[in-house]
Structure 1
Amino acid sequence: MDSFKAIIKKRFPKPEQKVVETKDGFFIDGFPIRFVSEVQTKKLGSDVVQVNVEFLAKSYKKNI
């Protein structure tokens, strides 16, 4: 059973980002995200939160 838990941890690692929303702004790992228009959160586990952020940007580029 312990090997199964180890496999699960490797396949589904826990997120490392720390998100903070204050009256002064929105921050991901201490970096400010400006022009945020909407934030939605959903707790998925004891230490996992799904965060959806909507914000305005000057441009967008997708590199695949």
Structure 2
Amino acid sequence: MPKNKTHSGAKKRFKVTGSGKLRREQTNARHYLEHKSSRRTRRLAQDQDVAPADVKQVKKLLGK
């Protein structure tokens, strides 16, 4: 049986923390930043946990 490959798009988008949680970057933080408030851009810079409903699928894509 061959090994499963890690999904290349998923490995660029998600990180697994030391405790096994999945983290992702927030959307809307890449361009048109001059129209967004400083408070909003600071908030968008923080990583966020993957939604519980998506964890199983993301782990499968990462081969975990």
The TM-score bracket by the shorter chain reads: under 0.3
TM-score, L = length of structure 2: 0.27
Higher relative contact order (CA 8 A, sep 6+): 2
TM-score, L = length of structure 1: 0.27
